Amino acid sequence: MSQELSVVGKRLPKWDASVKATGAAKYTSDLKLPGMLVGKILTSPHPHARIVRIDASEAEKLPGVKAVITFGDVPKTIFNPNKLGLILRHPEGEVKDMYVLSDKARFVGDRIAAVAAIDEATAEEALKLIEVEYEVMPAVFDAMKAMKPGAPKVHDFAENNIALHKQFPVSWGDVEKGFKEADCVVEENFRTARNHISQLEPCACVASLGPEGRLTIWSPSQHIFLHRRKIAEIFGMQEGMIKWVTPHIGGAFGKYGSLSLEPVTVALALKTGKPVKIAYSREQDLVGTELRQRYISSVKVGAKKDGTLTAVRENLIVDGGAYFSHNSSTTDVNMGSFVGLYRCPNVDAHADCVYTNLPVTGGVRGYGDSEATCVLEQTIDKAAKEMGMDPLEMRLKNVKKPGEPSQTGLPLETCSLEAIIKLGAERIGWKEKKQRPRQEGTKKRGIGMGIMMDVSGAQPFNLQIRNAFIKFNEDGSINLSTCIADMGQNLLGTMAQMAAEVLGLNYEDVHMVSGDTDSTMFDTGQHASGGCYQLGHAVIQAAEEARGQLFERAARKLGVGAAELSVKNRTVYVTSDPEKSIPIADVAKGATYNFEGEHLDISGKGSFSPTHNPPPFAAAFADVEVDVETGEVKIKKIVYVFDCGKAINPTTVEGQLQGGVVQAIGYALTEDYVVDTESGTLQSDNFNTYKLPSALDMPEIEVVIYEEAAPSGPFGARGVGHGTMIAVTPAILNAIYDATGIIVTEAPATPERILAALKKVV
Amino acid sequence: MRAFDYFESKTVAEATKYLLDYGETARVLAGGVDLIPRMRKEDFKTDCVVNIQRIPNLDRIELDSGKELRFGAMATLRSLETSEWVRKGYPAFYEAIRQIASVQTKYMGTAVGNLCVGTPASDVATVLYALGASLSISGPEGDRTEAIQDFCTDYRCTSLRRGEMVTGVSVPPMKAGEGSAFVNLVRTHADIAKLTVAVSITTEKDVCREARIAIGAAAPTVFRASKAEDALRGRPLKAQTIDEAAQIASGETRPISDLRSTAEYRKEMTRVLVRKALEKASVAAKG
Amino acid sequence: MKKEIVTFVINGQARDLIVSPNMTLAELLREQLDLTGAKKGCEIGECGSCTVLVDGKPTLSCSTLAIAVRDKAILTIEGLAQGTQLHPLQQAFIDHGAIQCGFCTPGAILTAKAMLDENPNPTRQDVKEALGGNLCRCTGYVKIIDAVMAVAEGMRQGGAK
């Protein structure tokens, strides 16, 4: 490939931006099919209750109601809604504990029954007519209490509500020895935030059984092939009889790694034989779709007085809510991130995954890495302070170098942490700000940092299979078929840029075919930021194969050998004699409408399973001001340096980073997911109570794209989107620590909590 | 949303007649910003919605001959924000509206509607308490005027009798030597206040002649911290007097803990905000 | 409750639609006209995704009774472009990377249009204040503000409004 890139690296508009700017883009909640019914779900008002009796007869009689289903009507297949059990190399931790509708109410919001009716008003009315007799049982809302003998049992099989005990499989060294050797040992206990990713489109699903007996599902799933298999297994269907389509997605951030509304919607569609749509309200989305686990994280760090780490340990109690979903994998990632971020000779991590009568948790942006990195980074700062050491210097002492293992255990091909830490420090003015006066009037000033190492996919833990198919149209444009639905991260545009680069086409010459199990090849789906890195390779392979065919045909026309050819600007040309050329369109048309009996649809297939997993690296810096009178935290500036290997589209990468900053600000300061601990009811159930940052809450944000090519990356690229919060949250919390001496052990750091803590700090 | 009877009134008399007929389950539709979402969630029973948006002149904003500001029930927050009379004549009122983050809410929502919701966390209500506003009310027994502090009787309750509606608000002109200030605390900018304070003080030769200290979100209704006001009246406006008054005001609060804040924090911040507001207002009073 | 046939003026076109009083403007647009650009993000007026312009004013269609705006000029995102000619804001959002998942986009564009119609010379702070009621979860707002500022700059340099 030519050194000089024409499409890759360019700031190009997002592939679907125009349909979104005009309102033409249809999201799942916008879809209408002829004869479509409205589905609604009856949820439990109790946090823990046995279902004694359900009488749906009155609801069924209501005119306009086409189906009412309860536990008795749905398949008795027990499942885990997340897709990992199908692709994990070691799926032992994947606990299955869920049914399409619940056999017992385990949280306020648990799914008890569902109706399909001709319109929303009728469906609502029908829900009210379903009589449910509950035997209310004691409930438990705290993981520590849940583990005590005699605590209410959320699931019969889980003694002391422990779903799984996990020892991180790759601990090494001897932590007790490591702590003994340390000059400084610090400990801290954290309760990470229950945080809801709150994508702007409330969850929705449409399912329709076609006349030929094939089921079509429309939903924002990130893994349509894997989820299709899960639905097939649940309902006793064959995969080939299910077509799954992803419409435009109004945000996902990893959440749709789990099945959400699909099982219930499918059950209603199968029962009625009609299309059914279930669209959540915001309230239903906040309680009924997965949020982050709360990690009760006990951290211990030992270091020599020069800052070198001697031991790190993390004990976790994972408050995972009423069903297991991602609890095993997020915990694995948490522990792996914790022990793997820095060089350390002695590490240990273990966890208990615990059930509570709280809404279901899952895996979203950061997937355990966010939480682990945050608590570790905060404890590193504590250790640094105790030793009178600059926390930046302490980090530089311990960051990894190329060749050392990454958090996944695979060797680091590169590691830019040292470079990006120094770059970011310079941009924020670390040295100067560390020396400025700490307090001006009632305002304390502080500066903090956080670093991270994340992933470009889930290698080596999961099967990761990415396929791409390219075919030429007669006009020289291509159809690029990949199974990815774009959640907003412009993965498809990024793929188009790569394909166009390899094929010498313009960006607009690439037509997308995506998000449809009928018209795309198998793909394990989009998670862990594997898209750019993994799918990029598949796309490049497909493009190279198609290019090979293009050259073979063009070579005939130009009377040269195929190896002598190059592509650029929609033209195939002889590398040593560029005047000798032929438009790609002519080659394509000539191959298709070929009267010599050798027609060819110029195309290419690419298939990729990764062997590497080059992390993206980031260093974030926050400059904050804390008002000691009110406890208010004002972020003045964030500098965020992110090594993405190669920014295939710099605008896209910047946008992801800026978005990650806002989510980190919400996590750190404003988003408080509050469940009433007497009734188990979600109190923060809409945006007037669960507060997302608005445009007015944004500080000055400087994002810096750093590009140290990943040798194994397509054009050198690494993953981006998954990791964009991870370094920023600890930067903010560490800045608060620097300003006030307060370690925020339970985010969000609201003014009330800061003020109360300020009173305790000497 | 459940079904209801819908009427568009052309006059206040017509509107009040519907309100009288339906009583407690009748709702007035002005901006709808608070009403419609609550109707969707069925927070209360609604049998009748009376749309007052098309009553002529109800959106007027004017200064009368006594330089009193008068605005009608349909005067939107946005129209008040952009009124020169408000901006120049009532800077605290202007500030209270300006800091409301949602532009849509300001274009749709009315100040009177905001008052009638009767929430103690209303920035608009708090500042109008400090400015000594009064409300014009029309009903089956005729028209009456009520001081704002008598209008809000309890949490989300007003003194409106069956069949009555607020037709407008009047705000006395700021006097020479009078200064005002508004300050609040929020979680994010686009949020209802967790605590809101507005003050107006009149000084003469650095002595406080008159004081109104209004506190919102720290009791079941907005209230005037009358003990704090008494402590200021007739005394020189020094840092010490201000601090003392702020401390007294804090003692007059009866806050609760809710999702936005804690009772303890609200109580303590009352002292801080009242102090800041009084400092700002005394500077304004001199200028 | 009685249903009526009522004339609405939407995107410059008069339409006779069946409406009952308990229908919100968002429902009318989305269900009856398939104008799904106005989104239901929260239905309590907090997120701004349902914003349309009513007589030029940014209005939360989730909190508006349809029947109450029957004779007003309603502009939805679908009516902003002139045929295939995009409004400068639409083009700027595309060009500046202000669109990721796109769910907040229609509301943000219309709110920004109303602001520019009133104040063609905003500062960045003015734009932030204008967008205070439009939540975005993807972009961090930076490129949305960039896009609006770029349009304002274009207008200053004599571009079409």
Question: CATH 3.30.43.10 in chain B, residues?
Answer: 5-51
CATH number at residue A260: 3.90.1170.50
Q: Are A621 and A730 in contact (CB under 8 A)?
A: no
Q: Write out chain B residues lying below 8 Å of C48, CB-based.
A: 102, 104
The verdict on residue A675 lying in a domain is yes
pLDDT band at A2 (very low <50, low <70, confident <90, very high): very low
B99 in helix, strand or coil? coil
Cβ pair B107:C58 closer than 8 A: yes
Task: Give the integer Cα–Cα distance in Å for B245 and B276.
Answer: 11
Beta bridge partners of B147: B134
Cβ atoms < 10 Å from Cβ of A392: 23
Half-sphere exposure of A202 (CA within 13 A, CB side): 22
Q: Is the pLDDT of residue B50 over 60?
A: yes
Q: Which of A21, A32, A200 sits opposite C137 (nearest CB)?
A: A200
Reported as a single tens digit per residue, the pLDDT across A177-208 is: 999 999 999 999 999 999 999 999 999 999 99
Q: Write out chain C residues lying below 8 Å of A17, CB-based.
A: 93-94, 99, 102
Task: Give the integer Cα–Cα distance in Å for B75 and B167.
Answer: 10
A679 in helix, strand or coil? coil
Q: By the CB < 8 Å criterion, does C45 face chain B?
A: yes
A422 with A492, same domain: the answer is no
pTM to 2 decimal places: 0.97
Q: Which residue type is seen at B33?
A: V
Say which residue, A638 or A211, is predicted with more confidence: A638
CATH number at residue A551: 3.30.365.10
**Could you say which of A288, A304, A322 is where a domain stops?**
A288
Nearest to C98 by CA among C22, C150, C156: C150
Domain B5-51 carries which CATH code?
A: 3.30.43.10
Q: Write out chain B residues lying below 8 Å of C57, CB-based.
A: 78, 107-108
Average pLDDT in chain B: 96
Edge-to-edge order in the sheet of strand A633-643: A439-440, A443-453, A617-627, A633-643, A700-706
From its phi and psi, is residue A298 left (phi > 0), alpha (psi between -120 and 50) or beta?
beta
Compute the average pLDDT of residues C10-33.
96
Hey, what domains does chain C have and what are their CATH numbers?
4-78 (3.10.20.30), 88-156 (1.10.150.120)
Residue with tokens 């909640």: A29
A505 with A570, same domain: the answer is yes
Task: Give the integer Cα–Cα distance in Å for A357 and A632.
Answer: 33
Nearest to A481 by CA among A459, A503, A441, A511: A511
Give the count of Cβ contacts less than 8 A between chain A and B: 39
Q: Is the pLDDT of residue C159 over 60?
A: no
CATH architecture of B178-286: 2-Layer Sandwich (3.30)
In the DSSP assignment, the letter for residue A615 is: P
Strands annotated E in A57-202: 65-70, 104-105, 111-117, 131-136, 162-167, 184-191
Cβ pair B185:A751 closer than 8 A: yes
Residue with tokens 């990815």: A484
CA distance C31 to chain A (A): 9
Q: Is the pLDDT of residue B242 over 70?
A: yes
**Could you say which of A573, A590, A608 is where a domain stops?**
A608
Q: Write out chain C residues lying below 8 Å of A490, CB-based.
A: 100
A87 with A209, same domain: the answer is yes
Average pLDDT in chain A: 96
Cβ atoms < 10 Å from Cβ of A499: 29
Nearest to A530 by CA among A661, A383, A710: A710
Beta bridge partners of A634: A625
Reported as a single tens digit per residue, the pLDDT across A577-620 is: 999 999 999 999 999 999 988 999 999 999 999 999 999 999 99
Reported as a single tens digit per residue, the pLDDT across C70-95 is: 989 999 999 999 999 999 999 999 99
Task: Give the integer Cα–Cα distance in Å for A251 and A235.
Answer: 28
Predicted local confidence at residue C2, as pLDDT: 80
Cβ pair B265:A672 closer than 8 A: no
Q: Write out chain A residues lying below 8 Å of B185, CB-based.
A: 630, 632, 751
Q: Are A536 and A713 in contact (CB under 8 A)?
A: yes
A581 with A672, same domain: the answer is no
Query: The domain B61-171 is classified under which CATH number: 1.10.1740.10, 3.30.70.580, 3.30.465.10, 3.20.20.70?
Result: 3.30.465.10
Compute the average pLDDT of residues A619-631.
97
Q: Is the pLDDT of residue C157 over 90?
A: no
A563 with A632, same domain: the answer is no
Mutate to test the interface with C, among B50, B94, B98, B103 (most CBs of C within 10 A): B103
A84 with A99, same domain: the answer is yes
Number of independent structural domains in chain A: 3
A419 with A554, same domain: the answer is no
Q: Is the pLDDT of residue C161 over 70?
A: no
Task: Give the integer Cα–Cα distance in Å for C124 and C107.
Answer: 19
Task: Give the integer Cα–Cα distance in Å for A495 and A498.
Answer: 5
Separation in Å, CA A617 to CA A577, A620, A708: 43, 10, 10
Q: Is the pLDDT of residue A762 over 70?
A: no
Beta bridge partners of A617: A453, A643
Predicted local confidence at residue A123, as pLDDT: 98
Q: Are A7 and A568 in contact (CB under 8 A)?
A: no
**Could you say which of A288, A318, A346 is where a domain stops?**
A288
Separation in Å, CA B78 to CA A139, A187, B105, B198: 48, 53, 9, 20
| DSSP, residue by residue, A227-240 | HHHHHHHHHT--GG
Question: CATH 3.30.390.50 in chain B, residues?
Answer: 178-286
A604 with A620, same domain: the answer is no
The verdict on residue A253 lying in a domain is yes
Reported as a single tens digit per residue, the pLDDT across A44-67 is: 999 999 999 999 999 999 999 999
A126 with A270, same domain: the answer is yes
List residues in chain A touching B: CB distance below 8 A: 629-632, 670, 672, 674, 683-684, 688-689, 691-694, 696-697, 750-752, 755
Q: Is the pLDDT of residue A1 over 60?
A: no
Report the neighbours of B using a cutoff of 3 or more CB pairs below 8 angstroms: A, C
Cβ pair A654:C99 closer than 8 A: no
CA distance C126 to chain B (A): 11
Mutate to test the interface with B, among C1, C65, C115 (most CBs of B within 10 A): C65
Q: Are A703 and A226 in contact (CB under 8 A)?
A: no
Q: Is the pLDDT of residue A546 over 50?
A: yes
- Backbone phi, psi, residue A347, to 5°: -135, 155
Q: Which of A692, A696, A752 sits opposite B262 (nearest CB)?
A: A752
Reported as a single tens digit per residue, the pLDDT across B255-281 is: 999 999 999 999 999 999 999 999 999
A577 with A692, same domain: the answer is no
Reported as a single tens digit per residue, the pLDDT across A407-422 is: 888 899 999 999 999 9
The verdict on residue A411 lying in a domain is yes
Do the bridges between strand B134-139 and strand B142-147 make them parallel or antiparallel, or are there none, so unpaired?
antiparallel
Compute the average pLDDT of residues A86-92.
89
Q: What domain range includes position A596?
A: 17-24+465-608
The verdict on residue A210 lying in a domain is yes
Q: Write out chain C residues lying below 8 Å of B37, CB-based.
A: 43-45, 62-63
Segments in C72-141 forming alpha helices (H): 88-95, 105-118, 124-130
Reported as a single tens digit per residue, the pLDDT across B152-207 is: 999 999 999 999 999 999 999 999 999 999 999 999 999 999 999 999 999 998 89
A448 with A509, same domain: the answer is no
List the single residue in B with minimal CA-CA distance to C58. Answer: B104
Nearest to A324 by CA among A360, A368, A278, A373: A360
Strands annotated E in A358-500: 439-440, 443-453, 466-472, 478-482
Q: Is the pLDDT of residue B18 over 90?
A: yes
Reported as a single tens digit per residue, the pLDDT across C80-137 is: 999 999 999 999 999 999 999 999 999 999 999 999 999 999 999 999 999 999 999 9
Reported as a single tens digit per residue, the pLDDT across A493-531 is: 999 999 999 999 999 999 999 999 999 999 999 998 888
Mutate to test the interface with B, among A674, A684, A752, A754 (most CBs of B within 10 A): A752
The verdict on residue A516 lying in a domain is yes
A451 with A547, same domain: the answer is no
